[in-house]
Amino acid sequence: MKRSGFQQNPVTNVPLQSMMEAVKNMLIAIGENPEREGLKNTPKRVGEFYLDFFSGLNEDPKLELVTEFDENHYEPVIVTNIEFFSVCEHHLLPFVGYAHLGYIPSGKVVGVSKLVRVLDIFSRRPQIQERLADQVVDTIHNELVSDSTYVFLSAEHMCMTLRGVRKSGSHIVTSAERGDKAGLELIKSGISIDTLKGLE
The site for Zn ion (CB under 5 A) is made up of 88, 90-91, 159
C-beta closer to Zn ion: residue 67 or 168: 168
- In angstroms, the CA 134 to CA 142 distance is 12
* CB-CB contact of 114 with 68 (8 Å): no
- CA 193 to chain centroid, in Å, comes to 22
The answer to whether residue 141 is catalytic is no
Name which of 172 and 191 has its Cβ closer to Zn ion.
172
Q: How far apart are CA 100 and CA 129, in angstroms?
A: 14
Q: Using the minimum distance from each CB to Zn ion, give the nearer residue, 87 or 118.
A: 87
Contact 103, 149 (CB under 8 A): yes
DSSP H helix total and E strand total for the chain: 6, 7
Secondary structure of residue 132 in the 3-state scheme: helix
The residue of the chain with the least Cβ separation from Zn ion equals 159
Nearer to Zn ion (CB atom), residue 88 or residue 121: 88
Active site residue 88: yes
**Least distance in angstroms from the C-beta of 177 to Zn ion:** 25
Least Å from the CB of residue 39 to Zn ion: 25
Three-class DSSP category at 140: helix
Considering only the C-alpha atoms of the chain, give the largest distance between any 2 of them, rounded to a whole number of Å: 63
91 is catalytic: yes
| Catalytic annotation, pick one of 135, 143, 157, 177 | 157
**32 an active-site residue?**
no
Out of 73, 156, 159, 171, which one is annotated catalytic? 159
Nearest distance from C-beta of residue 58 to Zn ion, angstroms: 23
Residues that are catalytic: 88-91, 129, 157, 159
